[in-house]
Structure 1
């Protein structure tokens, strides 16, 4: 399990080529409106300092969940992606934001997830997309 997780997290490492029009998490964090939404999201949880700046990230991609368009972004702890990562969904139309933070304990071989701003009733689709993005799947 640990090896699969490490391989999946390595996929989060950025490429030197920037995708046109698809922001990285650190770009998203610096945006006026998007930065406010992101800071509001993470302020509710006790997260490591690197999360504030977005860490190491890959380009965002657009997805549709139940007819609403979202931007899916992710980042990880610099120099240690397998240990900590974050994934978020942001709706430019609605301005709502949702996320998940992952902390992996290698000694216990266990992953702790912190879900942020998710309605327990209507969040299954979002949780699946966030978890996939967290683990390197950007195809959603």
Structure 2
């Protein structure tokens, strides 16, 4: 085959991938805590006096965040799980980037008994106590990731 023709085909085949990669925007994840000081401060405030497991900040398997809304505000829903224990140990947070507020849910499952312990983080008596809890539970179960358009609660 002609060298010019092969080069042209290679160029054409690389264009869509290059354009797609440049236009795709990835939302922040819990892995970005160390790079985003405002998010780190919100995370620390959310955790408060609760001693979180070591895996949460240093070894969590994370996915890009998903945009959700409730009470007229947009939140970034982010999840993580303990490596090799994703079925049993998970965390989900809702982060309001405007106010710097974060709410969370930490889950710990017990394989022997089949029970699961839910630890709610920074949940008060506001809108986060109902819609926020719903969204956090949907995040740890994978529902938000699978159906992001279904989690926009307007008020």
**Smaller-chain TM-score bracket:** 0.7 to 0.9
Tell me, yes or no, if the aligned pair for 2:59 and 2:83 is still in contact at 8 Å: no
1:113 corresponds, among 107, 113, 118, to 118
Offset of 1:108 from its aligned partner? Answer: 0.7
Provide the residue aligned with 2:40 in structure 1: 35
Distance 1:24 1:126, change over 3 A: same
Deviates more, 1:108-117 or 1:31-40: 31-40
Number of residue pairs the alignment of both structures matches: 123
Structure with higher RCO (Cα < 8 A, 6+ apart) = 1
Provide the residue aligned with 2:49 in structure 1: 44
Find the aligned partners of 1:62 and 1:22 in 2 and give their Cα distance. 8
Find the aligned partners of 2:53 and 2:135 in 1 and give their Cα distance. 23
1:24 aligns with 2:29: yes
Offset of 1:20 from its aligned partner? Answer: 2.0
Tell me, yes or no, if the aligned pair for 1:29 and 1:54 is still in contact at 8 Å: no
1:69 aligns with 2:69: no
Whichever of the two has the greater Rg, that structure is: 2
Tell me, yes or no, if the aligned pair for 1:25 and 1:54 is still in contact at 8 Å: no
Distance 1:100 1:72, change over 3 A: same
CA RMSD of aligned residues (A): 1.8
Find the aligned partners of 1:135 and 1:54 in 2 and give their Cα distance. 20
Q: Is the helix fraction higher in 1 or 2? A: 2
Post-superposition Cα deviations, 1:52-106, rounded to whole Å, max 9, x if no partner, equal 2360011101111010111100000011101200000010111111000000001
Provide the residue aligned with 1:136 in structure 2: 142
Report 1:97-108 matches (<5 A). Answer: 97-108=102-113
Tell me, yes or no, if the aligned pair for 1:54 and 1:75 is still in contact at 8 Å: no
- TM-score of the two chains, using structure 2 as the length reference: 0.73
- Structure 2 unaligned spans of 5+: 1-20
Matched residue SS, 2:100: coil
Report 1:50-61 matches (<5 A). Answer: 50-53=55-58, 55-61=60-66
Find the aligned partners of 1:42 and 1:62 in 2 and give their Cα distance. 22
